[in-house]
Amino acid sequence: MHILTFDSHQKLHESGAGIIIGMVQTNPRAVLGLATGGTPIGIYQEIVKSYQQGIVSFKDTTTFNLDEYVGLPENHQESYHNYMNTHLFDLIQLQRSQTHIPDGNAADLEAECQSYDKLLEQAGQIDLQLLGLGHNGHIGFNEPDHALTGCTHIVELREETRKANARYFDSIDEVPTHALTMGVGTILKAKMILLIVKGGDKAEIVQRALKGPITTDCPASLLQTHPHLVVLLDSEAGRLL
Ligand code: F6R
């Protein structure tokens, strides 16, 4: 595990973007696993800048997102489809055929999960999986539990996760109760994992995830078993390490 701590968000964002851009420059056909939420926005902004400067092209790149809410229309402001289009895909001219996000409005959600896994299998291994970290240790929407699921599945969001995400909605009642998420098995199969964490409110969970016991009570602790994990932290998030 390589842990890098930054005293400036700008440097952290540039470093994260640099790793992803370097991957695509070396392998233009790379398969990228992408995350949403507040954490990666600065990294996506740096990627867009490099794209606009002609430093990198994504024309042969494929992407798979970790998760999507159930029942939120794709064009809803807070859907992860809308997030990705707004923050990245439309700005680096990724065609919809190159991108994949689970369909949280599918009539048959179980079948949707299976077909997402099939698409992942057809694409081969994810070359780089970008991750944020939930306050309760979730990765993707794999919430703490007595057991975790390997493949894409429907998950009931924990109250604390809905509360954390309520900041983007008018009220907590509007935050969906369920989501589709890639499983921990798929996440751990990626060739490289890039975990990004910012903010002192996550210092404790960073400590548990990276240095604590490996347990399904903290899904991110399973990342300790990955042979190529790179962690980028701001100094507040890393203060207990
Ligand atoms: C998002 C995702 C989540 C977030 C996590 C942290 O696609 O899978 O695991 O990475 O909830 O969210 P932020 O970055 O908003 O603190």
Per residue in 115-149, pLDDT (tens digit) is 999 999 999 999 999 999 999 999 999 999 999 99
Query: Of the residues 9, 39, 99, 181, which should be mutated to test ligand 1's pocket, given the most ligand atoms within 8 Å of the CB?
Result: 39
pTM of the model: 0.97
* Residue 240 resides in a domain: no
Bridging pattern class, strands 192-197 and 128-131: parallel
Predicted pLDDT of residue 155: 97
Predicted pLDDT of residue 231: 98
How many beta carbons lie within 10 A of that of residue 54, not counting itself? 7
Instruction: State in Å: Cα 35 to ligand 1 middle.
Output: 7
Predicted pLDDT of residue 201: 97
Total number of domains in the chain:
1
- Closest ligand 1 atom, CA of 131? 10
Question: Residues for the chain: how many in total?
Answer: 241
* Residue 64 resides in a domain: yes
Mean per-residue pLDDT pooled into runs of 10, the chain (241 residues): 98 98 98 98 98 98 98 96 98 96 98 98 97 97 96 96 93 96 98 98 98 98 98 98 96
Given a contact cutoff of 8 angstroms between Cβ atoms, the answer to whether 101 and 65 are in contact is yes
Instruction: State in Å: Cα 24 to ligand 1 middle.
Output: 23
- Closest ligand 1 atom, CA of 202? 16
* Residue 209 resides in a domain: yes
Domain, as residue range, for 176: 2-234
* Residue 152 resides in a domain: yes
Q: ipTM > 0.95?
A: yes
* Residue 96 resides in a domain: yes
pLDDT tens track for 196-222? 999 999 999 999 999 999 999 999 999
* Residue 239 resides in a domain: no
* Residue 88 resides in a domain: yes
CATH number (domain holding residue 212): 3.40.50.1360
* Residue 216 resides in a domain: yes
